[in-house]
Amino acid sequence: MKKSLLYFSILILVSNFLFFAVGILANIGFVGTFMGGLMAIGTDPIILMLGALLGAGLVVKPFRFSVIYLVIGAIFLTMLVHVILGTTRFIVDVVRFDALLILPSIIIVVASFFGPKGKASTKKTKT
């Protein structure tokens, strides 16, 4: 797995957590609305399935520009679900895009714990 994809995934998760934490601490109503919408849309089976497929695809087949593929994939899947469900509000698509970035990011970070840690050495040592 590419390190840039892992770092970008961590950046997405940390920035969403900071947005949530600062919004709750400052008592900003929009943040509560946004996070409530994110929880509602993020638990939608279609979004869960598409996010899991995007994340698993990027973990299994690491490309040279995986970060760009993550963003473009999330944009494409947002447009696809927009057309299928007939969304009329722009904010719903923004929340859906954020959910389609968060779900693959969680999969990428979790998969990084199970990957190879270093290069295996096959040299014979003299005794």
* 3-class secondary structure per residue, 35-93: HHHHHHHHCCHHHHHHHHHHHHHHHHCCCCCHHHHHHHHHHHHHHHHHHHHCCCCHHHH
Q: What is the mean pLDDT of the chain?
A: 89
Give the burial class of 31: count Cβ atoms within 10 A of its Cβ; 0-12 exposed, 13-18 middle, 19 or more buried: middle
What average pLDDT does the segment 10-28 reach? 93
Sketch the domain layout of the chain as residue ranges.
3-113
pLDDT digits (tens, 9 = 90+) for 106-124: 999 999 888 776 665 566 6
Name the pTM for this structure. Answer: 0.84
pLDDT digits (tens, 9 = 90+) for 52-93: 999 999 998 878 888 999 999 999 999 999 999 888 899 999
Cα–Cα nearest to 90, from 78, 105, 77: 78
